[in-house]
């Protein structure tokens, strides 16, 4: 029953939610419902792991900043599985 309600809720969010795009590449990340609650932002309906980033501004103001989301970059370290003595 719980999984049925969850899937119905996610279907509604994916239908009426807001489209978000990657702040760095511009590719679409999906439709989500963003709910500010208790000093935090709840992201409901997203299938990917994302991290929040502050978007650049033409004029520096600290009282109003825009928040964007981006995916985590791929690891840039070499594979250590084939080390030889």
DSSP 25-49: T--EEEEEEEEEETTEEEEES--S-
Specify whether the CB–CB gap between 14 and 45 falls below 8 A: yes
The answer, as to whether pTM is greater than 0.75, is: no
Neighbour-count burial of 69, counting CB atoms closer than 10 A to its CB (0-12 exposed, 13-18 middle, 19+ buried): buried
SS3 call for 60: coil
According to the model, what pLDDT value does residue 83 have? 59
Sequence spans of domains, the chain = 36-73
Match 């239908």 to its residue by tokens.
Answer: 15
pLDDT for residue 82 is more than 70: no
pLDDT, one tens digit per residue, over 22-46 is 998 889 998 998 888 998 888 888 8
């Amino acid at each position: 029953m719980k999984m049925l309600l969850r899937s119905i809720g996610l279907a509604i969010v994916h239908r009426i939610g807001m489209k978000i795009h990657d702040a760095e590449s511009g590719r679409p990340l999906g439709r989500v419902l963003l709910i500010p609650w208790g000093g935090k932002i709840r992201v409901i309906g997203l299938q990917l792991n994302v991290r929040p980033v502050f978007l650049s501004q033409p004029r520096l103001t600290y009282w109003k900043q825009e928040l964007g989301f981006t995916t985590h970059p791929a690891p840039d370290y070499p594979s250590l599985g084939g080390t030889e003595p």
